[in-house]
Chain A
Amino acid sequence: MTEKKYPHHKVTGPDGAEFVVTPMEDYYCQERPQVQKSSNAVIEKFYNWARANSLWIVGFGTGCGAIEMRPLRTPRFDAYRYGVNWRATPRQSNLFIISGYLSVKTLKRVIRVYEQMQSPKYVLGLGSCTINGGMYWDSYNTIKRLDHYIPVDAYIPGCMPRPEALLDGFEELKKIIIAGEANGANLYAENFDWYKANQKKIIKNWDMPDYSW
């Protein structure tokens, strides 16, 4: 199968001038992510407390485990009382739950969504599949270790974990964030080449920018 490329196309401007558009260069920013360092430790601590108590999850169910997130909004579990909320856009979310197995096709979308989130951003691996492949250990199309492709802050083991386990995972993540150890976005920026090499090893038809701003 051939690599799909965005074609160069000609656009006629309102004044009649014609110019060539190369989507990869003209529509996308080519810059690499930068490491974000806070100047003031006290403010950073305060901010971390706010971030930990207001986890907004990007509404992207990547695998079967997404079904375990739905009950969290129901009266029985009611995750919103812990400040856990779901947003439909990656721009406004700061937590990405990789819910279960991740096929290569989904991984491509996951990377794009993860890169569109604004740092600081956190990733929870839900289920055994994100740790070592789980029951898809010999699958030809499912990744085994999530932390080779995007930085992961915490894992919730199980197949599938119950919603209670998910709530416990949120609490653990809160502790990690408040302790200031959840700097996955900076890890990603520091080891950008390593992550990209791993991603490109799996995704054979890489037809997107290296970093989706």
Chain B
Amino acid sequence: MKTLLTNLKKRHDITASKLQRNNELFVTVPNNQAVSLVTYLRDHEGFSHLVILSAVDWLEEEVFQLTYLLNNPELKQDIGVRTLVDRNEPVMESIHHLWEHSATYQRELFEMFGISFPTSPRMEEPFILEGWDGPPPYRRDFDTLKYAEETYFPRPGRTTNDVAAYMKEKLYPEDDND
């Protein structure tokens, strides 16, 4: 994996890298190089399987972090390619021409985070949320509790107990000093 990393560093601007395990590597590249790096890994390094394409919302830094997790079935190695997308204008290049099933991931990301992948097939069709008209629900500035209470008729009288305190009160009521 280390030779792979030095090899990659020659070709792409790897801004950060982390060897998670002996067979798992994470690299971070600028936005415009991610797809070329993924293509290179697929075509020349044997990472032929796209395991997942997921996103993380970094609200404070105003970016979305995309992770392309690739797998090399022969060497049993994983590589995660991370890249950052501007949160205010979330547009990313599509990779559906590399793996067909990535179109489904991209549909989901569009629905849940609002990250747009132009040219990706069926991207604007509803994936899970049929008829959703609110903001994309996985964005961290979306208040799910408030939305749920306004929308879904909450049943009055629901209380929440602190688990530790509740267990202590129920099981050891006389034991006060702890």
Q: Are B158 and A132 in contact (CB under 8 A)?
A: yes
Question: Known contacts being A1-B124, A139-B144, is A204 close to B151, with CB within 8 Å?
Answer: no
- How many pairs, one residue from A and one from B, have CB atoms within 8 Å of each other in the complex? 68
Q: Are B153 and A144 in contact (CB under 8 A)?
A: yes
Q: In chain A, what residue has the closest Cβ to B158? A: A132
Give CA–CA (A173, B131) in the complex, Å.
Answer: 35
Contacting B at CB under 8 A, from A113-133, are 131-133
0/1 interface trace, chain B 108-142, chain A, CB 8 Å (1 if under) = 00000000000000001010111111100100001
> Of residues B128, B152, B158, which shows the largest number of chain A Cβ atoms within 10 Å of its Cβ?
B152
B68 CB → nearest A CB, Å: 26
The segment out of A30-38, A47-55, A74-82, A195-203 that lies at the interface is: A195-203
Give CA–CA (A181, B128) in the complex, Å.
Answer: 37
Q: Is A91 an interface residue (CB 8 A)?
A: no
Taking CB atoms, residues of chain B closer than 8 Å to A202 are: 151-152
Q: Is B154 an interface residue (CB 8 A)?
A: yes
Q: Are A205 and B142 in contact (CB under 8 A)?
A: no
Q: Are A132 and B154 in contact (CB under 8 A)?
A: yes
Q: Are A144 and B148 in contact (CB under 8 A)?
A: yes
A137 CB → nearest B CB, Å: 7
A150 CB → nearest B CB, Å: 13
Question: Known contacts being A139-B144, A140-B137, A140-B147, is A1 close to B155, with CB within 8 Å?
Answer: no
Give CA–CA (A180, B143) in the complex, Å.
Answer: 44
State how many residues of chain A have any CB contact under 8 Å with chain B. Answer: 26
Taking CB atoms, residues of chain B closer than 8 Å to A142 are: 148, 152
Give CA–CA (A142, B157) in the complex, Å.
Answer: 19
Q: Are B128 and A105 in contact (CB under 8 A)?
A: yes
Q: Is A138 an interface residue (CB 8 A)?
A: yes
Q: Is B145 an interface residue (CB 8 A)?
A: yes
Give CA–CA (A132, B154) in the complex, Å.
Answer: 7
Q: Are A198 and B128 in contact (CB under 8 A)?
A: no
Q: In chain A, what residue has the closest Cβ to B157? A: A132
Contact of A1 among B131, B145, B147, B154 (CB under 8 A): B131
Contact of A105 among B130, B148, B151 (CB under 8 A): B130
Give CA–CA (A104, B133) in the complex, Å.
Answer: 13
B110 CB → nearest A CB, Å: 11
A136 CB → nearest B CB, Å: 8
Question: Known contacts being A139-B144, A140-B142, A140-B148, is A133 close to B154, with CB within 8 Å?
Answer: yes
Taking CB atoms, residues of chain A closer than 8 Å to B151 are: 201-202
Question: Known contacts being A105-B129, A132-B155, is A137 close to B124, with CB within 8 Å?
Answer: no
Q: Are B126 and A1 in contact (CB under 8 A)?
A: yes
A-B contact pairs, 25 of them (CB 8 A): A1-B124, A1-B126, A1-B132, A3-B131, A104-B130, A105-B130, A131-B155, A132-B155, A133-B152, A133-B158, A137-B154, A138-B144, A140-B144, A140-B147, A144-B148, A145-B152, A145-B153, A145-B154, A145-B155, A198-B153, A202-B151, A202-B152, A204-B130, A205-B130, A205-B131
